A and B are shown apart, each in its own frame.
Chain A
Amino acid sequence: MLEIKNLHAKIGDREILKGLDLTVRPGEVHAIMGPNGAGKSTLSYILAGKDDYEVTEGEVLLNGESILDLEPNERSVAGLFLAFQYPIEIPGVATMTFLKAALNAHRKARGEAELTTPEFMKRVKTVAEKLNISSEMLKRPVNVGFSGGEKKRAEIMQMALLQPSICILDETDSGLDIDALKVVAEGVNALRSPDRAFVVITHYQRLLDHIVPDIVHVLSDGRIVRTGGPELALDLEKNGYAAYVADAAA
Chain B
Amino acid sequence: MAATPARTPAEQALAARYPAERTSLPGTADVIAIRDAAFGGIEKTGLPHRRVEDWKYTDLRARLKTFPPAAGPADVARVLIARPAMEGDKARRLVVANGRYRPELSDLENLEDGLAVFSLAKALEAGDAAVLAALKLDEATAANTAVALNTAFMTDGLVITVADGAVVERPVEIVHIAEGEPAASTAVRHLVTVGRGAKLTLIETVESLDTVAHHSNIMTVIEAGEEADVDHIRLQLEPDEAVSMTTLVARIGRQATFDTFNAALGAGLARAQVFAEFVGRDAEAGFRGITMLSGRRHADTTLSLIHGAENCRSRELYKAVIDDEARSAFAGRIAVPAFAQKTDARMMTASLLLSEEAEAYAKPELEIFADDVQCGHGATCGAINEDLLFYLLSRGIAKAEAESMLILAFLGEAIDEIQDQAVHDALIHRVEAWLKTRASARKAGEPAA
Contacts and interface: CB of A to CB of B under 8 A. Distances in A.
B397 A73 contact: yes
A82 B390 CA distance: 11
B401 interface: yes
A72 B398 CA distance: 9
Nearest to B405: A93
Contact of B393 (A73, A87, A93): A73
A56 interface: no
B405 A102 contact: no
B387 interface: yes
A49 B398 CA distance: 13
A105 B388 CA distance: 17
Contact of B397 (A49, A75, A105, A141): A105
A189 B70 CA distance: 74
A73 B409 contact: no
Interface string A61-97: 0000000000111011100001010011011110001
A103 B415 CA distance: 27
Contacts of A97: 405
Nearest to A106: B396
A92 B412 contact: yes
Nearest to B408: A92
B413 A92 contact: yes
Interface residues of A, number: 28
Contact of B388 (A73, A77, A88, A101): A88
B406 interface: yes
A129 to B, nearest CB: 21
A162 interface: yes
B394 A48 contact: yes
B390 A72 contact: yes
B413 A98 contact: no
A98 B405 contact: yes
B296 interface: no
B410 interface: yes
Contact of A73 (B387, B394, B410): B394
Contacts of A220: none
Nearest to B410: A92
Given A88-B388, A92-B412, A101 B405 contact: yes
Given A72-B390, A88-B387, A102 B413 contact: no
A72 B393 contact: yes
Interface residues of B, number: 21
A123 interface: no
A84 B388 CA distance: 12
A93 B404 CA distance: 10
A158 interface: yes
Contact of A98 (B387, B395, B399, B410): B395
Interface in B380-422: 387-388, 390-399, 401-402, 405-406, 408-410, 412-413
Contacts of A49: 390, 393-394
A73 B398 contact: yes
Task: Please report whether the interface of chain B is mostly helix, strand, loop or mixed according to DSSP.
Answer: helix
Contact of A158 (B395, B402, B408, B410): B395
A50 B390 contact: yes
A97 B432 CA distance: 13
A115 interface: no
B395 A76 contact: yes
Contacts of A76: 393-396
Contacts of B392: 90, 93, 98, 101-102
A234 interface: no
Contacts of B410: 92
Interface in A24-82: 48-50, 71-73, 75-77, 82
A92 B409 contact: yes
A109 interface: yes
Contacts of A142: 391
A76 B394 CA distance: 6
Contacts of A158: 395
Contacts of A71: 393, 399
A101 B394 contact: no
Interface in B96-139: none
A142 B396 CA distance: 15
Most interface-central of A49, A98, A101, A158 (chain B CB within 10 A): A101
A37 to B, nearest CB: 20
Interface in B228-245: none
A93 B409 contact: yes
Q: Lowest 7 CB-CB distances: which A-B pairs, in order?
A: A92-B409, A76-B396, A72-B393, A102-B395, A105-B396, A73-B393, A92-B412
Interface of B: 387-388, 390-399, 401-402, 405-406, 408-410, 412-413
25 contacts: A49-B393, A72-B390, A73-B393, A73-B402, A76-B395, A84-B391, A87-B391, A90-B409, A91-B409, A92-B406, A92-B408, A92-B409, A92-B410, A93-B405, A97-B405, A98-B392, A98-B395, A98-B397, A101-B392, A101-B402, A102-B397, A106-B396, A141-B409, A142-B391, A162-B396
Given A76-B395, A98-B392, 9 more contacts: A73-B394, A73-B402, A88-B387, A90-B391, A90-B409, A92-B409, A93-B405, A141-B409, A142-B391
